[in-house]
Amino acid sequence: MDTKAREQLLVKYNAPAWMNTLSNIPSHRIKASMENTPIERWYLPGIPEEFEVYIKRDDLTGCVLSGNKVRGLEFIFAEAIQQGCTTLCSAGSTQSNMVRTLASMASSLGMPAHFIIFADKDTKEGNNLLQRMTGAHRYMIPNVGGLEFDQEVWPKVQQLAEKIRKETGELVYTFNFGSPSSHIFGYLKVFDELLSQDVESFTDIVVSCTTVPTTFGLAVGNHLNECNIKIHSLITGESKAYAVKEMNKMLRYVGLQEVDGSGPSAEDYCHMTETLGDGYGKTTQEEIEFLKKVATKTGIILGSTYSGKAAYHMVKELNEQPDKFRGKKILFIHTGGVFELFDGRMQNAFDKDDNVKQWKDAMDN
């Protein structure tokens, strides 16, 4: 695919009237995701039957593109195409859903993609395999004690982009997922989709949160439409302080907070709770058992890093504080992450699987 063919994919983005007061609304998007993902009743095991829980299936936004990231990246790639960029540069970890989605979208658009990958060694997780299959160029840097993204990673992305520009003459688009840009409009757009799916009938929305654009879109959409839904943002990576800081940056980007930080802030829009368990990307035995049980009883496959932890916490809270949720109608946003499961840990959980028998033994009994 060449520049001309890419330009033909640009679609004008007509933001709904309720976004009128926002600044920096992107002008275009490309259509990469499956939209209008269904909302289904979710009969989660281990919670009282009287609780009405539903699930928005944003794990169905695509196959390799599944999950929440593609929603925002439709705006990012449109911007890259509008600027005439032919190559993409970004960063992430070996198991990153963001890198997997970026790599896949870039390859479908015929754009080479280059990533700084912070990991001590190359690994064999599901997302990493897909990053490789889609031809991403990856440059490993040691991940010593949690890198400071802005100081230690982002400058390397820019250096790399500069080198590619010099050597190839390509126009390089650099994407910093830690900085507000058009991708934060992804879930504002999803909120518009939710309005057409009777979102106002819900009292609560539960979503997992790390770099915050998903929470931001849902919370701001809820606010601007005066839906009065309680938004529970369950923080499954980083800290609450980080999430609040990021969300405030986003509020300033769209003009809902003054540059000096005055005006409503993150926690006026949503309720943020840290639900890290054993830590970012680490899964407890209990959480693994929960993922198995949910898949067995409901057919829903949750990811281990984000959506699974958020659902685990939600079920815990519904049990521990039933009075708080009685009579409520809850919508859980499935943000995807199925490829997180292919890192060996889930397979280990089935080492002693009672559902596997020799045919002969089963018939003899």
Ligand X SMILES: *Cc1c(COP(=O)(O)O)cnc(C)c1O
Task: Give Cα separations from 17 to 10, 192, 196, 200, 225 (angstroms).
Answer: 21, 10, 14, 18, 10
In this complex, which beta carbon is closest to ligand X, that of residue 170 or of residue 274? 274
Q: Is 335 in the site for ligand X (CB under 6 A)?
A: yes
Q: Binding to ligand X (CB under 6 A): which residues in 264-323?
A: 303, 306-307
Asked whether the beta carbons of 215 and 270 are under 8 A apart, the reply is: yes
**Which segment (78-86, 165-173, 317-325, 333-341) binds ligand X by CB under 6 A?**
333-341
Check binding of 336 to ligand X (CB under 6 A): yes
Residues in the chain: 365
Binder to ligand X among 87, 210, 222, 248 (CB under 6 A)?
210
Positions 13 through 72 that interact with ligand X (CB under 6 A): 67-69
Asked if residue 175 lies in contact with residue 76, where contact means CB atoms within 8 angstroms, the answer is yes
213 binds ligand X (CB under 6 A): yes
The single residue among 214, 225, 248, 283 that binds ligand X, judged by CB under 6 A, is 214
50 DSSP assignment = T
For this structure, is 96 an active site residue?
yes
Active-site pick, 33, 66, 96, 233: 96
Question: Min. distance of Cβ 311 from ligand X in angstroms?
Answer: 11
Nearest approach in angstroms of CB 343 to ligand X is: 14
Hey, what are 267's tokens? 């926690």
Neighbouring C-alpha atoms within 13 Å toward the C-beta of 142: 2
Of 6, 67, 56, 59, the residue nearest 31 (C-alpha): 6
Nearer to ligand X, 68 or 128 (CB): 68
- Cβ atoms of residues 272 and 243 within 8 Å: yes
Q: Does 73 bind ligand X (CB under 6 A)?
A: no
Q: Least separation, in Å, of the C-beta of 363 and ligand X?
A: 42
Residue 131 interacts with ligand X (CB under 6 A): yes or no: no
Q: Which helix (H) or strand (E) holds 5?
A: helix 3-7
92 binds ligand X (CB under 6 A): no
Rounded CA separation 49/26 (Å) = 43
Report the C-alpha gap between 207 and 236 in whole angstroms. 10
Q: Rank residues 86 and 307 by Cβ distance to ligand X and give the closer one.
A: 307
Closest CA to 316 of 47, 23, 44: 47
CB of 167 to ligand X, least distance (A): 32
Binding site for ligand X (CB under 6 A): 67-69, 97, 208-215, 303, 306-307, 335-337
Catalytic residues: 96
